[in-house]
């Protein structure tokens, strides 16, 4: 499988002749993020993960394309009928030839008085886990973790603790679109340190950079 990091929390996963895209949101500037995709996974409804206009345009342009998403996203796209598939914690589905296990129910807390929105994390082919905006630990081993690097809902010690608890073989940063160059430098240092503690390869991929898993 090949993983390509795009802007913010968006990744493309390619296997054989199939392509899966996760979270092409409003902070993903690449206009071709969905080109050639066979399916799209959306973790939750926030603008930086879900751009409804982009999704609708992609579905109109490609009749093969389907969307798999949390319940709030599914509700907002309900007029698209059977091309939108709601999934939640515990589901195991086949999406465009990829085996996808769904983990997690809620977004991390953003406000002490506001209940969290739904958030679905996706473990793809038992290899790559994209948690969305939650520090969900799957009940099965994770070889490659898409590790949130910076977020309003996460403190730095929580990133270290999450990395230790998941204990992946490797981790690549997502959720980095809010940082300037100085912030990216600080984040890269801490992500690398988290990997060193475990003796693993933890790092940020530049937008457009790919790795073979």
Average pLDDT, the chain: 97
Helix (H) or strand (E) holding 147: strand 144-148
Question: Residue 39: its pLDDT value, please?
Answer: 98
Tally the C-alpha atoms within 13 A of residue 165's C-alpha that lie toward its C-beta.
12
Question: Residue 187: its pLDDT value, please?
Answer: 96
Distances (CA, A) of 91 to 82, 122, 123, 202, 211: 18, 10, 11, 28, 27
pLDDT digits (tens, 9 = 90+) for 97-153: 999 999 999 999 999 999 999 999 999 999 999 999 999 999 999 999 999 999 999
d(Cα 172, Cα 174) in Å, to the nearest integer? 7
d(Cα 46, Cα 200) in Å, to the nearest integer? 31
Helix (H) or strand (E) holding 160: helix 156-166
Q: Which residues contact 63 (CB under 8 A, 6 or more apart)?
A: none
pLDDT digits (tens, 9 = 90+) for 77-110: 999 999 999 999 999 999 999 999 999 999 999 9
Q: Is the pTM of this model over 0.85?
A: yes
Question: Residue 49: its pLDDT value, please?
Answer: 98
Q: What is the mean pLDDT of residues 179-201?
A: 97
Could you tell me the pLDDT band of residue 73, with boundaries at 50, 70 and 90? very high
Question: Residue 171: its pLDDT value, please?
Answer: 98
Q: What is the mean pLDDT of residues 1-6?
A: 98
Distances (CA, A) of 147 to 22, 169, 202: 14, 12, 9
d(Cα 2, Cα 212) in Å, to the nearest integer? 4
Question: Per the structure block, which two tokens stand in for 72?
Answer: 């709030």
φ and ψ at residue 43, rounded to 5 degrees: -80, -40
Q: Which residues pair with 168 in a beta bridge?
A: none
């Amino acid at each position: 499988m090949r993983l390509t990091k795009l802007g913010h929390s968006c990744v493309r996963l390619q296997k054989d002749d199939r392509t899966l895209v996760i979270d092409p949101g409003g902070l993903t500037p690449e206009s071709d993020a969905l080109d050639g995709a066979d399916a799209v996974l959306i973790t939750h409804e926030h603008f930086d993960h879900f751009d409804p206009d982009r999704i609708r345009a992609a579905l109109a342009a490609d009749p093969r394309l389907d969307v798999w998403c949390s319940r709030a996203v599914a509700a907002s796209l309900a007029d698209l009928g059977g091309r939108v598939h709601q999934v939640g914690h515990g589901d195991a589905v086949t999406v465009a030839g990829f085996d996808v296990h769904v983990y997690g129910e809620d977004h991390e807390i953003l406000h002490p008085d506001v209940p969290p929105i739904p958030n679905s994390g996706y473990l793809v082919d038992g290899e790559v886990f994209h948690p969305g905006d939650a520090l969900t630990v799957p009940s099965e081993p994770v070889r490659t973790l898409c590790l949130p690097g910076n977020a309003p809902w996460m403190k730095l010690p929580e990133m270290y603790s999450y990395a230790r608890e998941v204990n992946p073989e490797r981790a690549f940063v997502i959720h980095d679109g809010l940082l300037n160059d100085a912030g990216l430098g600080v984040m890269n240092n801490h992500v690398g340190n988290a990997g060193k503690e475990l003796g693993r390869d933890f790092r940020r991929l530049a937008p457009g950079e790919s790795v073979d898993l």
